[in-house]
């Protein structure tokens, strides 16, 4: 079949790899003028790593292995911890923090040079019983047997299917950076989550001397942006213990970006006819569980499986993909939205649960996240 993919981020490239390997003809359309080389780091958990290996993407030599997540109070006291290496030992796949440009480059390796057409912003789409056609902002069109909207939480394809208003603001936003900060944690395999009355801070070494850092605070779209975000962070978190104070001292204004987080209720049926959605276009969620990219890889893997499964009706195969993904992704999405961490509440109860029990719960939960388990 001829498959059109809107969006050349990690989801669009992943599903292109899957479909090309099954013999489909694929064209990818991206509104950006060229492949993006910027972006911060993301966490590829064991389930995401397993999917990537299955579709021919290795993570050797990029990013940084994460073996532990520790939760601290703002004064530096340890509240709780989880042994991430336990899941790696059990399932055979590490959890890694990887700068997005490095991951995108790995996903693009081996793909046809002309697979992605850049500078192509989708405007609208139409379909009939046999074909689907997308029209771009420059007036050109493309027609195929199927269309996959992998165009993120601002998805044009989703708006065509669902209308406006499906995605709602979450309770918090994030100021973040990926910087060469030379402090002790940068050369470890330890991920820190730090909470206090002022908000929350995350620190995640991403390899090559880079540290992914972020500060979460209550947010709504109507909130004004500070004139100097870094100065505001230094003021707000001035009394927090190291390593937060060290990170803020070393960061620069050029490092920092803001993301206001959003969420949409996952639908049992995402698409219509010969059109479906993938990744954030279908299930935008807060980053509380760190599963956004990982669930996108799961989408690509399951979609490839369903399209390879036979059956004469392509639309029915898309609905089978959506049905298969719904139980897993709706669970993840609900948990990401309802997690107390969204309110930046320190995990007091975590101190009452032994680390071995927390690690076991994480391992069992990780297994529930994956269609490939």
pTM score of the predicted model:
0.91
* First vs last C-alpha separation in the chain: 28
Within a domain: 24:
yes
205 has a pLDDT exceeding 70: yes
CA 46 to chain CA centroid, nearest Å: 14
| pLDDT band per the 50, 70, 90 thresholds, residue 352 | very low
Q: What six digits make up the tokens of 219? A: 């947010």
| Number of independent structural domains in the chain | 1
Within a domain: 110:
yes
Strand pairing class (96-99; 41-44):
antiparallel
CA 130 to chain CA centroid, nearest Å: 33
- pLDDT more than 90, % of the chain: 80
| pLDDT band per the 50, 70, 90 thresholds, residue 182 | very high
DSSP 304-328: HHHHTT--S-HHHHHHHHHHHHHHH
Q: What six digits make up the tokens of 30? A: 């991206």
Question: Average pLDDT in the 63-74 region?
Answer: 96
Range of the domain at 278: 2-38+100-168+263-351
Q: What are phi and psi of 338, to 5 degrees?
A: -90, -5
Query: pLDDT by residue (tens digit) across 273-301?
Result: 999 999 999 999 999 888 999 999 999 99
Query: pLDDT by residue (tens digit) across 149-167?
Result: 999 999 999 999 999 999 9
Average pLDDT of every residue of the chain:
91
Query: pLDDT by residue (tens digit) across 96-143?
Result: 999 999 999 999 999 999 999 999 999 999 999 999 999 999 999 999
195 has a pLDDT exceeding 70: yes
188 has a pLDDT exceeding 70: yes
Query: pLDDT by residue (tens digit) across 13-42?
Result: 999 999 999 999 999 999 999 998 888 999
Within a domain: 362:
no
Question: Average pLDDT in the 226-237 region?
Answer: 95
Q: What six digits make up the tokens of 103? A: 């991951």
- pLDDT (0 to 100) of residue 362: 46
Residue 32 is part of a domain; what is its CATH number? 3.50.50.60
Within a domain: 92:
no
Q: How far apart are alpha carbons 146 and 139 in whole angstroms?
A: 20
Q: Specify burial of residue 180 (Cβ count, 10 A radius: 0-12, 13-18, 19+).
A: exposed
């Amino acid at each position: 079949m001829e498959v059109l993919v809107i969006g050349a981020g990690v989801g669009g490239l992943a599903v292109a790899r899957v479909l090309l390997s099954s013999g489909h003809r694929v064209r990818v359309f991206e509104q950006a003028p060229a492949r993006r080389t910027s972006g911060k780091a993301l966490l590829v958990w064991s389930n995401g790593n397993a999917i990537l290996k299955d579709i021919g993407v290795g993570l050797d030599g990029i990013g940084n292995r994460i073996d532990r997540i520790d939760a601290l109070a703002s004064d530096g006291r340890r509240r709780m911890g989880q042994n991430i290496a336990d899941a790696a030992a059990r399932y055979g796949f590490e959890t890694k923090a990887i700068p997005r440009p490095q991951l995108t480059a790995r996903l693009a390796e081996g793909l046809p040079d002309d697979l992605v057409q850049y500078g192509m912003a989708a405007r609208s789409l139409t379909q009939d019983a046999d074909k689907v056609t997308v029209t771009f902002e420059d007036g050109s069109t493309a027609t195929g047997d199927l269309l996959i909207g992998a165009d993120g939480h601002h998805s044009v394809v989703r708006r065509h299917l669902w209308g406006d208003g499906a995605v709602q603001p979450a309770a918090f936003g994030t100021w973040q950076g990926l910087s060469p900060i030379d402090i002790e944690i940068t050369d470890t395999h330890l991920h820190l989550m730090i909470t206090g009355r002022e908000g929350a801070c995350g620190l995640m070494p991403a390899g090559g001397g880079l540290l992914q850092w972020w500060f979460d605070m209550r947010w709504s779209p109507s909130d004004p942006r500070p004139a100097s975000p870094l100065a505001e962070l230094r003021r707000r978190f001035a009394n927090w213990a190291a390593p937060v104070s060290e990170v803020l001292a070393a960061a620069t204004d050029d490092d920092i970006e803001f993301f206001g987080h959003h969420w949409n209720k996952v639908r049992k049926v995402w698409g219509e006819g010969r059109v479906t959605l993938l990744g954030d276009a279908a299930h935008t969620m807060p980053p509380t569980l760190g599963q956004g990219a990982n669930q996108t890889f799961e989408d690509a893997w399951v979609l490839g499986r369903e399209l390879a499964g036979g059956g004469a009706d392509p639309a029915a195969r898309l609905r089978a993909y959506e049905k298969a993904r719904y139980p897993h992704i709706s669970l993840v999405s609900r948990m990401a939205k309802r997690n107390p961490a969204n309110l930046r509440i320190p995990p007091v109860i975590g101190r009452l649960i032994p680390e071995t029990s927390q690690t076991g719960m994480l391992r069992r939960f990780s297994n529930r996240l994956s269609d490939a388990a």
